[in-house]
Structure 1
């Protein structure tokens, strides 16, 4: 690589790391730009076009390379862009009712998911609701209708996260119908509201209250969630024997297997409790059988009311966040935390480095003393 290009390359790499791009995207971009700069092509629009044209076969299955090079040229002020003006998509209008044919299709699809696929009840509920909502606005499955339905959701002001869930359900449904359709998903920045995570003091206060309750299972519900960082779907798979043994490997989100560890303190407490109460089988069981996410959520809010803890902090996922915050407090290893939480990207885990308003204020007053 020529000295001029080497200098440009180093500056651009520094620029990339100042953006909010994931490490995976940055890595691919660096590789694409390096190969381009090491070639004999001029670093301008003409050189870019010649490079793409003469390497068309090699680049055919790597569309990200074109985006990477266009972004690089834009950074240099050359102003080359692949962005096209978005075509307006007219949203759908609501139908009078869902046709019998589509009601039958929905029933068959949900039955298929429950019988032939290993989806959680919560996921099936989301898929069922999404498909029903779609058929309230469209009679046929088509790319045009899918795009118009998504536009309607955007016009209704639904969050990008919710729209992505609807799109996932629609794509899965079209695949089941053997008419696979893929849609562009809206981007969103993953953020964690650190104000809605229980504090250590609130957590301890909650445990002290639950210890006094006749049903001590509740105490262990919170203790397990807060010391494993498990998602609620994973928590529902835990058995008393798993905790006593100290670890278990389960299938979690995305059908990926994940290993969970249980602390020695928790093991000892559960072992004594099981011996006393003769508990067996699944942990998350209530008076009427296996718990649901909704029933657990409602119960947790009721427990929070008794302890003076804001209801917004009392749901299963809040204790996954609590686990992450506490782990980083004790061991500032984001990479290891990402592995424990089952995150596919470390960027997802970095949100736990955010500090709450009170933490920021306290740290500010401690640091700014000049």
Structure 2
């Protein structure tokens, strides 16, 4: 059995366990890289996997990136009945602040909205507002349906979990008006050709096209950053981490903490306000 055939079977195994298409695609990409870099056998030994992990570190990859790639290989080891071949992920101390160069601010978000309005791109405008006002993942856009807008709540199913979220009334009104003009009476609000839900690539392209006119750095504009902006804004008002975790669909509050980290600039201002260098 060839390597590519085994990788495809691994992809089917992940699909059976209801991994998202995006996660499956990334895992297969990383696994191909592992076999290409290491020249490993069908069932790689732990030493081979650990050596590949350590080589990624030497190449300058961040610990979080290395662990994400390693997860794909360790998952493959489970698939092929070789759990003893898994390597331990790198230990990472949790950061207390995020990279300000990649944090999307409220002001930048509003500039993106203004750019979409100026361009007359109603779809991009509503995409931005829907993602940011609900905190959903881009893969969950398919659950924002005409029916959900009428009910003002959406039933989200992702990563084997189900949750129900409330939709802001004004957002629902805007979505329904847009659907009425398009004569869309049921199903997903955001559709491409043939009535299929917009895929993540199309959403990314629509958002990236607004960067230049809005004067916002391209590396800041992607769907997941809108989810982070939602989380920071909600937490600033409510300070309820458990409720925010439920809204975002997180199993662990530790994951939610990442979403509400202040920027490095804010952290630096806090340190300066301590006045310990008299």
TM-score by length of 2: 0.81
Per-residue deviation, 1:110: 2.8
In the other structure, the counterpart of 2:92 is 188
Q: Secondary structure at the match of 1:235?
A: helix
Per-residue deviation, 1:358: 6.1
Q: Secondary structure at the match of 2:187?
A: coil
Cα distance, 1:350–1:110 mapped onto 2, change above 3 Å = closer
Matches within 5 A, 1:349-368: 349-356=256-263
Q: Distance in 2 between matches of 1:146 and 1:358?
A: 38
Q: Secondary structure at the match of 1:260?
A: strand
Q: Secondary structure at the match of 1:324?
A: helix
Note if 1:226 corresponds to 2:127: no
In the other structure, the counterpart of 2:210 is 303
1:271-322 per-residue CA deviation (whole Å, 9 max, x = no partner) reads: 2222222224223433585433333223212212111122122110110111
Q: Distance in 2 between matches of 1:347 and 1:299?
A: 31
Q: Larger Rg: 1 or 2? A: 1
Where relative contact order (Cα < 8 A, 6+ residues apart) is larger, the structure is 2
Q: Distance in 1 between matches of 2:240 and 2:182?
A: 38
Q: Distance in 2 between matches of 1:282 and 1:106?
A: 32
Note if 1:208 corresponds to 2:111: no
Matches within 5 A, 1:14-93: none
Q: Distance in 2 between matches of 1:160 and 1:322?
A: 24
In the other structure, the counterpart of 1:141 is 43
Contact 1:194 1:354 in 2 (8 A): no
Q: Secondary structure at the match of 1:285?
A: coil
Note if 1:107 corresponds to 2:8: yes
Cα distance, 1:122–1:241 mapped onto 2, change above 3 Å = same
Q: Distance in 1 between matches of 2:145 and 2:65?
A: 32
TM-score by length of 1: 0.63
Q: Secondary structure at the match of 1:348?
A: helix
In the other structure, the counterpart of 1:125 is 25
Per-residue deviation, 1:226: 0.4
Q: Secondary structure at the match of 2:201?
A: helix
In the other structure, the counterpart of 2:63 is 160
Contact 1:249 1:259 in 2 (8 A): yes
1:124-175 per-residue CA deviation (whole Å, 9 max, x = no partner) reads: 1112112212222212313332223223323323222222222222222222
In the other structure, the counterpart of 2:247 is 340
Cα distance, 1:336–1:358 mapped onto 2, change above 3 Å = same
Per-residue deviation, 1:245: 1.7
Q: Of 134, 144, 147, which residue of structure 2 is paired with 1:241? A: 147
Note if 1:263 corresponds to 2:168: yes
Q: Distance in 1 between matches of 2:216 and 2:65?
A: 27
Decide which moves more: 281-290 or 261-270. 281-290
Q: Secondary structure at the match of 2:81?
A: coil
Contact 2:103 2:263 in 1 (8 A): no
1:22-44 per-residue CA deviation (whole Å, 9 max, x = no partner) reads: xxxxxxxxxxxxxxxxxxxxxxx
Cα distance, 1:179–1:210 mapped onto 2, change above 3 Å = same
Structure 2 unaligned runs (5+)? none
Per-residue deviation, 1:122: 1.2
Cα distance, 1:140–1:240 mapped onto 2, change above 3 Å = same
Decide which moves more: 279-288 or 326-335. 279-288
In the other structure, the counterpart of 1:277 is 182
Q: Of 56, 76, 80, which residue of structure 2 is paired with 1:173? A: 76
Count of matched residue positions in the alignment of Structure 1 and Structure 2: 267
Q: Of 302, 312, 316, which residue of structure 1 is paired with 2:219? A: 312
Cα distance, 1:258–1:125 mapped onto 2, change above 3 Å = same
